Structure formats: structure tokens, C-alpha cells
Structure 1
Amino acid sequence: MSDTTVVLVHGAFAESSSWNGVLTLLQDAGIDAIATPNALRSVTTDAENVRRLVDSLPGDVLLVGHSYGGAVITEAGAGNQKVKGLVYVAAFAPDHGENALDLTSQFPGSSLGERVRPYPLGDGTNDLVVDRALFTDQFAADVPLEVAKLSALTQRPIRDYALGEGLPAETPAWKTLPSWFIYGTGDKNIPEAGLAFMAERAGSRGTRVIDGASHSVMVSNPGAVAELIKAALAELA
């Protein structure tokens, strides 16, 4: 699918530069790719922003989502004829009505809840950030320390409403589109068992599990993520 563009969607407590390593490898391979900003306000509005980008691009699209970005691509890809596949990078793949909080707590192992800090927005909702002093261990334990420290300072807050919003699409995109999954056994945000459950439920065409990798698997293992994306593109060709 030489005319396919890869659209990378970051998740909560991250930002577009978290894809830099993956983007570099895809560009070196001659693959068109773009990392789009994610406002982290609600699944509905964040997915609509991704749809607008998809509509602006020529040709087909492969959507790639990290963490909460997985919920966004699941919604954005639903019923979209330009989207040909989905790659979930330590990401949520919710069904209709499911939300990130429920999927996180469905399996034991996440320590995220005790390490986030709320900031009231004045409308009854809160922005959430990972405690900056705890970010490295929680989010990026296998990332070089100086990089992880910078990530703690540049993390984008997510509105709590977004994490608790059930997936609007009655038919999530993974039920009609091929999907691929990659995640690490050292993920402290989404339990490994939960990621495995979502990959199996979605009928993943290829699942890569990286021993010891943190939630920031695209930063610590950009080569593995890029290779999975290239494999997905080859299978879609």
C-alpha cells in the first residue's frame, strides 16, 4: 500500500514527540507518516480531530494509537472507508460503552491511579497528570533517564472525563478492520493481562510482546514498533 499514510496518535501523559524514534525509522524506510496532536479532552472530540486529518490526506491510512490513543483510533476508524488497519501500541482497544478506567481496573497490576494528580478545570472535571517525581518509574522505566525526565516535564494532561467516557461507536473499528498489537511485560499503566485480553478479543493479526518494556514502549523500542507497522503495511498491500 505505497499510497498509505501512517497516522500516529499519542495517548495520555505524552505528546507527539514520543513518536520521534518511530517516525525517523518509518521515514528512513520511505513510508509516509505523521504524528498528530491529541487534545486529550474526550474520546468523541479527539476522534473527530483524527477523522478530519484522515479526510485531508490522500490515499489510505493506517492508524496507530498509544495508550488512550488506542481508544481514539478505535472510534476514529469506525466506518471510515479510508482507514485500512489499526496498530495498538500499549493501547486500549475498547468495545462499545467501555472506557479506559474500566479496562485498566479489569485486571490487577496497574499503579497509575495512585500516581496521578488532579487539577480542577472549574466545570466539575479535572485535568490529570502523572506525578512528575514518579513519572520515570511509572511510565518510562526502560527509557534513558534524561529522556524520561524530560517526558515528565512535557507530558500533556488528560481530562478525567476522557478516561471515563464509554466508546461511542456501536461497532468499534477493530471489529471490522485488521489490527496488530505491541506492548511490554513491564507496563505499569495498563496491566499486561489486559493488553493480552484486548489483543485476543480483537483478533490481532500479529502481537509482539517485549519482555520488560514499559508503557513508553514506542520510546524505548522504536525499532520493534516500526517493524510491526511495516509488517502491517505489507500485509495490507
Structure 2
Amino acid sequence: MMNISRALRAAVAALAIAVATTIAATPATAAPLPTVVLVHGAFADSSSWDGVAAQLRARGYSVVTPENPLRGPANDAAAIQRTLDAIAGPVVLVGHSYGGTVISNVHDPKVESLVYIAAFAPVRGEFAQLALDPIRFPGSQLLPPALQLKIVDDPRGLAGRNLDAFVAPDRFHDVFAQDVTPETAAQMSARQHSIAVVANLEPSGPPSWADTPSWYLVSGEDRVIPASSERFMAQRMGATTSEIPASHASLVSHPTEVAELVESAAAH
């Protein structure tokens, strides 16, 4: 009986060691990847993110590309907030161009990081048009005749928001996206959404980037928002900044670099 008892105890001890070793060797369950929400800017639509979204999804991210109403920072931030309300986990919020103004006005604790792609990043009380000041930041070609106006029927009845701006089709390639093919530029131009003129004149609220880690990708050959303006805003907000030789439409012409920056922000 003594030998059997000793053998049993030895077997139990060996099993316990084996179980402990297996547990120690099993890697901890990785935290779920954040959902990436990509917010387009003016003169574009959600399809402008297609290349970036495809790369992020291939890397395992859930990606959402809501339509930005382009009516003004407060209204548009509320629209993006409704998208965030339907997301359970952490979020990386990304904005291109005017989309940067929008994400700067979104305040949601689920947003763990912000990414700005050739984007406006206003301080409180500032409106986006100031970033195009030709004296401080010369070089924008987003001027008439490239920039055109039209009257739109706004079913929401937002006062003063039925005068819209858009980029003339014959100037879209040269001004907005000079580093994509003419065919791609033509498709982008045909899908562009106009923006309420007052949207870029509406004072921004307290910026979310003030208390959220932020990344900024400067387009060094931007003909819409001058690169000098982008560098100024990125430095002012204390963003982790990088730069590529790209047009304003870097998300279309350089989707790999944009996706890699978003992934860096997701991994911080």
C-alpha cells in the first residue's frame, strides 16, 4: 500500500507540473484590435478610403467608413458620434482634410487615438479656412475657377447651409489629386460631395486631440492645404508626425503608407 500511495502522489505531482508548464507556455489572449473609423473630407466620399480600408481589413481590423454630411463641424461631429455609438470596443478615429475638423470635435472615451491625413486640426474657436491663409501659408490652389459654388437643396433645413462649394471637374486632377491617374481622378471628381461654404467658417469646439494621442501624415506636395500649414498644425497639436511626397489625396495615391500610420496609432 505504501508503494502504491507513493506512486500515486508522484503521478499527481507530475501531472500538476505538466499542467503548470502548459499554462505558462500558453500565450496570453491578445487584446482585440480597435475598430478603425475613417472619415472623409470635402470634395470626396467614403469610397476615397477604399484602398486604405482594404489593407487594414487584410491586417485583421474592422473598418467603418461613414458618410460625412459636410454641413459644419458640430453637425458632422454629431453624425460621426452616431456611428461610434454603434461600436462596442476601442476606436481609432481617422480624418482626411475637412474630416480632421470633424474628428477634432468628436469626444468619445472609446477613441484611443486620432489620425490626421493632410487634415485640418483646429484649436478651439478657430475655423478651417484660417489654415488656408495665403499670407501665412501660401500655395493653395483651391481658388476660383478651380473652386466653384452652387445652390443645393438641404432637406435638413440647416440655415445658411445650402450654398455649397465643389471642385470644378476640369481642375480636379491638377488641384486635388495630381499623383493619381487621370481615370482615377475623373472617378473621384464624379463622386465628390460638395461642402457647405459655412462649414469652413464655423468656429471649432474644444479639440479632442488636446487629450488624445494623435498622429499626422503631411502631404508634402499638397495643392489644397499647403504642407507648411499641415506641419504647423501637426506641431501645434504635438502629434507624432511623418511626411510623404503626395497630393492632397494621399489616402488614394499612397494607401499603404496611410494604412501603416493608422496601424501605428492602433498599436500605441
> Is residue 172 of structure 2 the alignment partner of residue 135 of structure 1?
yes
Which of 219, 224, 228 aligns to 2:252? It is 219
The residue that corresponds to 1:155 in the other structure is 192
How many residues are paired up?
A: 229
Aligned mates of 1:185, 1:117 — CA distance in 2: 25
Aligned mates of 2:168, 2:121 — CA distance in 1: 25
Deviation string 1:18-54 (CA, Å, 9 cap, x unpaired) is 0000000000000111111011011111000111111
Which of 116, 121, 126 aligns to 1:93? It is 121
Q: Match of 2:215, SS?
A: strand
The residue that corresponds to 2:67 in the other structure is 37
Deviation string 1:162-215 (CA, Å, 9 cap, x unpaired) is 111110x2x31111001001122110110101000010011112x12112x100
> Is residue 211 of structure 2 the alignment partner of residue 176 of structure 1?
yes
Q: Match of 2:218, SS?
A: strand
Task: Select between 88-97 and 2-11 the one with higher mean Cα deviation.
Answer: 2-11
1:126 positional shift: 1.1
Task: Select between 99-108 and 21-30 the one with higher mean Cα deviation.
Answer: 99-108
The residue that corresponds to 1:118 in the other structure is 149
1:117 and 1:129 in contact (8 A); partners too:
yes
Q: Match of 2:170, SS?
A: coil
Gaps of 5+ in 2: 1-30, 154-158
1:120 positional shift: 2.6
1:63 and 1:85 in contact (8 A); partners too:
yes
> Is residue 242 of structure 2 the alignment partner of residue 208 of structure 1?
yes
The residue that corresponds to 1:64 in the other structure is 94
Task: Select between 30-39 and 10-19 the one with higher mean Cα deviation.
Answer: 30-39
1:183 and 1:217 in contact (8 A); partners too:
no
Q: Match of 1:134, SS?
A: helix
The residue that corresponds to 1:27 in the other structure is 57
> Is residue 110 of structure 2 the alignment partner of residue 103 of structure 1?
no
The residue that corresponds to 2:41 in the other structure is 11
Aligned mates of 1:201, 1:102 — CA distance in 2: 14
1:134 positional shift: 0.3
Aligned mates of 1:59, 1:185 — CA distance in 2: 34
Aligned mates of 2:67, 2:167 — CA distance in 1: 19
1:145 positional shift: 1.4
Aligned mates of 2:112, 2:90 — CA distance in 1: 7
Which of 211, 214, 234 aligns to 1:199? It is 234
Q: Which has the larger radius of gyration?
A: 2
TM-score, normalised via structure 2 length: 0.83
Q: Match of 1:62, SS?
A: strand
The residue that corresponds to 1:75 in the other structure is 105
Q: Match of 1:133, SS?
A: helix
Deviation string 1:69-119 (CA, Å, 9 cap, x unpaired) is 00000001x3x2111110000000000111111111141111102221111
TM-score, normalised via structure 1 length: 0.93
Aligned mates of 2:147, 2:190 — CA distance in 1: 14
1:64 and 1:87 in contact (8 A); partners too:
yes
